[in-house]
Amino acid sequence: MSTQSTSFNSLEDLRAACLDLPAGSDTAASAVARRQETLTKPPGSLGRLETIAAWLARWQDRDMPKLDAVKVFVFAGNHGVTAQGVSAYPSEVTVQMVANFAGGGAAINQLARIAGARLDVIPLDLDHPTGDFTIAPAMDEKAFLAAVSAGYDAVTDDLDLVCFGEMGIGNTTPAAAISTALFGGGAEKWTGRGTGVDDAGLIRKITAIEAGLKRHADSLSDPLKIAAALGGRELAAILGATLAARKNNVPVLLDGFVCTAAVAPLARLHPTGLAHTIAAHVSAEAGHRRLLEALGLPPLLDLGMRLGEGSGACLAVNIVRSALECHARMASFAEAGVSEK
């Protein structure tokens, strides 16, 4: 297990890490494809279950993948932009929900248990919300890099699969702001109701995002500066954790809109930056489906979920386990004495 602490000292250090990504193992993925051809089923009849098995092999660098060590990371942060009335809930709910996670009372606790995954909740300086991005950067370079490093250090090379999720009142506003900055089209296109704001609250969210884009116009050509100026600590940590997973040969299941927006800068920096990830689900939050399409990430599930917490990602662990069980335990035509076509 790698436990060496990583501290990115500058945006250029982080950018260099994002541009230097391993490609995964063609050999392992090809071995899975060859085995799939021998199993007692018509070719390709298990659809994405077959490609999931090959994806696991590629990014674990194993001819026969395994799922012995699965972990769910939930990163939590607070946001200064909530001062603009962008959430239906007060910021103190972030701390309260972290306590609920610790007590085992949240949805993610139940889903992690059923999925056979360990849960690790990482609060990030909850007593000090990020800056209100309508008037100042959410994070200066030092704070952004510290959050990225915290996420990076959380992911060790002894893990077989990780799920990323978040908790942070108001964080669909930074997610929509980052999406708008990266892909254009205007704030209204990317902004939804989050925790359930009314029409007036939705207008406040759009107005805040537009103000943030105007305030930080000089940063909008750089994906990392966008993430610092408009994002949040939990989003930055997810970015760092996703980068670490790539470096450590650990495949990733992404959760909903906030999680996907958090890693979108990596996709803009590197053409295959998210190749080691699968979108676990498409959430009901406005903008998520559009963002997945922009990133070329077809979701596994569409259940109308919009909770966060890594809930959709954790639910998809069961699909990944099913893919691996079929791949590893199905008989070949020869073993079963079944005639091939």
Residues 245-251 have a mean pLDDT of 98
139 membership: H or E segment, kind and range: none
User: What residues contact residue 18 under an 8 Å CB cut-off, 6+ apart?
Assistant: 224, 243, 265, 266, 269, 270, 273
pTM: 0.97
Q: What is the pLDDT of residues 17-47, one digit of tens each?
A: 999 999 999 999 999 999 999 999 999 999 9
pLDDT category, 341, cuts 50, 70, 90?
A: confident
SS3 category, 167: strand
Percent of the chain topping pLDDT 90: 96
More confident position, 41 or 4: 41
Alpha-carbon Rg for the chain, nearest whole angstrom, is 20
- Tell me which H or E stretch contains 71: strand 70-76
| Closest among 233, 231, 213, 211 to 221, alpha carbons compared | 213
Tokens 């990076």 map to which residue? 152
Active-site hit among 309, 325, 335, 340: 309
Residue 279: pLDDT above 80? yes
Per-residue DSSP letter, 338? P
Q: What confidence tens digit (pLDDT) does each residue in 74-99 have?
A: 999 999 999 999 999 999 999 999 99
Res. 6: pLDDT tops 80: no
**Which residues have C-beta within 8 Å of that of residue 267, sequence separation ≥ 6?**
273, 274, 295
User: Are 26 and 277 contacting, i.e. CB atoms less than 8 angstroms apart?
Assistant: no
CB atoms within 10 A of CB 284: 17
Q: What distances in angstroms separate CA 254 from CA 216, 328, 335, one per listed residue? A: 27, 24, 37
Q: Minimal CA–CA distance to 236: which of 170, 295, 150? A: 150
Q: Which two tokens stand for residue 305?
A: 């979920």
**Does 273 have pLDDT greater than 80?**
yes
Active-site residue flag, 309: yes
- What's residue 1's pLDDT? 65
CA–centroid distance for 152 within its chain: 13
Q: What is the pLDDT of residue 320?
A: 98
Residue 339 pLDDT: 92
What pLDDT does 226 receive?
98
pLDDT at 5: 64
| Amino acid 268: pLDDT | 98
Residue 4: pLDDT band by 50, 70, 90 thresholds? Answer: low
**Over residues 328-337, mean pLDDT:** 95
User: Is the pLDDT confidence value at 195 over 90?
Assistant: no
User: Per-residue confidence at 2, pLDDT binned at 50, 70, 90?
Assistant: low
Q: What are 98-145's pLDDT values in tens digits?
A: 999 999 999 999 999 999 999 999 999 999 999 999 999 999 999 999
**Per-residue pLDDT at 7:** 79
